[in-house]
Amino acid sequence: MDDIGERIAELKKERNAVILAHNYCLPEVQDLADHVGDSLGLSIAASKTDADVIVFCGVTFMAETAKILSPGKTVLIPDPAAVCAMAQMCTPEQIRTEREANPGLEVVGYVNSTAACKAEMDICCTSSNAVAVVSSLEGEGAIFVPDKNLGSYAASKCPSKRMVLWNGFCPVHQSISVQQVTDLKAAHPGAEVLAHPECRGEVLELADVVGSTEAMLTHCRSSDRDEFIVLTEVGMRHRMERSCPGKSFYFPESAVCGAMKMATPETVATLLENMDRRVELPADIVDRARRPVQRMIGGS
Ligand code: SF4
């Protein structure tokens, strides 16, 4: 372990802290984390931990979700400027207006949303369980916020449900083009194509498998193929290469989320020393957002 790794290990022990890192974080941050995963896996880890302090290496909505699930714990984020662009595309007021315009529809919200928006939702979902959540609705259908691509994908798998889609999107996945996929396929004709459901519909049509980052990883581990074109953020390469030695992964190299790269080993060490950059949320928001988030992880 290098110097900074040792410093973080000592501080973690001293603070009784756990480090969670999203699959899109820098490789060196993933390597120092206790749990690396997608939003659903990390939400579950945050809800189960015995640690007093949760250091969330990811974007602010993820750290907020950890705080909603564990309001008594100290949740820290290495850089509070790490904001998901998609989460900014929807406001609580807009959700209330849409709900009034569509009586009878439940509000299903992608976890990539602010805590204040979650407080307006009936149930949250992640890319791992969006289809299962929509298909489990007892009513006529849903207003799906904020990702139009994930909403459209879930709607295609649940044709009996009426879906009102928001106009939000992830700029990173939205920017992956048909041309990029076609070029990657031409360069690697034997590769299987895996796509994240935040990609545009015409890109998903070119994929052999559509799924969350965890679903992609599970597929690559069990597949007898050894080459994969992976249509998601490039940070996923590190975990795939570690988990599937001997297999090759090709990404659209422009698919980089700057917010996900803000956490570094240095900022994590400084954070654990200073114990600042705490996630604080109004108590009423935490109370109202807890139910939809717990429903998402199967907690109630
Ligand atoms: S990759 Fe997209 S959805 Fe994920 S944090 Fe970045 S902007 Fe948000």
CB 236 within 8 A of CB 256: no
Q: Is the pLDDT of residue 296 over 80?
A: yes
Q: The tokens of 41 are what?
A: 């896996």
> Between 283-296 and 60-69, two packed helices, what is the crossing angle to 10 degrees?
90
Q: Calculate mean pLDDT across residues 113-132.
A: 96
CA distance 44 to 172: 25
Burial (CB < 10 A; 0-12, 13-18, 19+), residue 34, is middle
Q: According to the model, what pLDDT value does residue 2 have?
A: 78
Nearest 5°: CA angle at 145, between 143 and 147? 130
- Give kind and range of the element (H or E) at residue 294: helix 283-296
Taken in order 246, 204, 198, 44, is the CA torsion positive or negative? negative
C-alpha 112 – ligand 1 centre gap (Å) = 8
Pocket test for ligand 1, best of 79, 86, 148, 251 (most atoms within 8 A of CB): 86
Nearest-atom index, ligand 1, CA of 24: 1
Strand partners, 55: 19, 76
CA dihedral 13, 22, 60, 94 (to 10 degrees): -150
Q: According to the model, what pLDDT value does residue 297 have?
A: 84
**pLDDT tens by residue, 21-45:** 999 999 999 999 999 998 888 888 9
Q: Calculate mean pLDDT across residues 224-236.
A: 97
**pLDDT tens by residue, 58-77:** 999 999 999 999 999 999 99
Q: According to the model, what pLDDT value does residue 39 have?
A: 83
Q: Is 199 in the pocket of ligand 1 (CB under 6 A)?
A: no
C-alpha 157 – ligand 1 centre gap (Å) = 23
Confidence category of residue 299, pLDDT binned at 50, 70, 90: low
Nearest-atom index, ligand 1, CA of 198: 3
C-alpha 84 – ligand 1 centre gap (Å) = 5
- Show the DSSP H helices in 49-146 as ranges: 60-69, 92-101, 115-118, 130-136
Q: Is 84 in the pocket of ligand 1 (CB under 6 A)?
A: yes
Q: Is 233 in the pocket of ligand 1 (CB under 6 A)?
A: yes
Q: According to the model, what pLDDT value does residue 300 have?
A: 47
The domains located in the chain, with CATH, are 3-84+261-280 (3.40.50.10800), 86-169 (3.40.50.10800), 176-254 (3.40.50.10800)
Q: Over pLDDT 90: what percentage of the chain?
A: 94
